[in-house]
Amino acid sequence: MSMFGVLEVSSAGMDVQQARLEVAASNIANARTTQQNGGVYKPLTVVVRSAIAAAQGPAGTPTTVENLPMPSVAEVVEMNVAPKLVYEPGHPDADERGMVSLPGVDPVSSMLDLVSISRGYEANLRAFDITRSLLQRTLELGRNR
Amino acid sequence: MLNADPILALLSRALDAAALRQTVHATNVANVDTEGYRRLEVIYSAELQRLQAGGQAVDVNEAMAWAEAEPEVVESSETRVRLDQEMAQMAENAVRYQALIGAIERTLSTLRYAARDGREG
């Protein structure tokens, strides 16, 4: 039985939070992007799957220290949200009625995402730290005298 | 590994269990955003859990028998990972782990003392 493997899982967890941060930042930065690949910018979201859980198939396969579920970013997908219509007749992308389609980015939920990302990252970092210090303590067993 | 002394054997098994708990908590935290992930937890056999819940006094031989029980990793009945709860349990387990390390150190130093016929240094 070993605790070393879990350090990798914790750092995979940090990678996932990093990817979520990039996507959240992109959504906030593109809140007013009206032209991208011929259409209005579509907000993105991250799909996280666990590598081993997927390979295991049916539920109930026993989890052991040897096959810990390792999270990873499976894909970044466009969210299925309708664009917001805003009346801005002077905008170059306005239609004949003066309405502009802005991306359906919800600023409040984007900010909440940032909070949860930062909490998730910190928790993984803390878990990594605790595991490391426990391993360190164990390696020092019997060292004194 | 530390089978020469029954106390050390008991302590090292308890240490293994604490290490397994740390592993499982860290895995839960890492998978907080994983789609379809079910929270994992460490359990002992039903018999042992009944004894632990009872809280009655046990003698040394019984405690030694407990040490033979193998902890298992299972999916928890509460499937959602709650970050704060997970971190609190991890901190508690870390204290327990360090206490066990301390106990092993003290047991080793007692044995060392005996091996030197009670002479210091």
Tell me the pLDDT tens digit for each residue of A20-69: 999 999 999 999 898 888 788 999 999 999 876 444 444 555 566 667 88
* Residue-level length of chain A: 145
Rounded CA Rg of chain A: 22
Conformation bin of residue A23: beta by default, left when phi > 0, alpha when psi is -120 to 50? alpha
Percentage of chain B beyond pLDDT 70 is: 79
How close does chain A come to B85, measured CA to CA in Å? Answer: 11
- Average pLDDT over chain B reads 84
CB A6 within 8 A of CB A63: no
Residue A109: both structure tokens together: 């939920």
What's the pLDDT score for residue A57? Answer: 47
Alpha-carbon distance of A31 to A138, in angstroms, equals 50
CB A130 within 8 A of CB B91: yes
* In the predicted structure, residue A136 carries a pLDDT above the cut 50: yes
Q: Mean pLDDT over residues A89-102, rounded?
A: 91
Whether A26 is covered by a domain: the verdict is yes
What's the pLDDT score for residue B57? Answer: 64
Q: Mean pLDDT over residues B20-40, rounded?
A: 93
More confident residue, B3 or A79: A79
How close does chain B come to A103, measured CA to CA in Å? Answer: 25
What's the pLDDT score for residue A1? Answer: 47
**In which domain, by residue range, is A134 found?**
4-31+44-78+105-139
Whether A123 is covered by a domain: the verdict is yes
What's the pLDDT score for residue B5? Answer: 78
Chain B residue numbers with beta carbons less than 8 Å from the beta carbon of A45 are none
Chain B residue numbers with beta carbons less than 8 Å from the beta carbon of A2 are 19
What's the pLDDT score for residue A14? Answer: 97
pTM of the model: 0.84
- Tally of domains in chain A: 1
B113, closest residue in chain A (CA to CA): A145
ipTM tops 0.90: no
Whether A65 is covered by a domain: the verdict is yes
What is the per-residue pLDDT across B57-114, written as a single tens digit (0 to 9) for each? 667 777 677 667 788 888 888 889 999 999 999 999 999 999 999 999 999 988 888 8
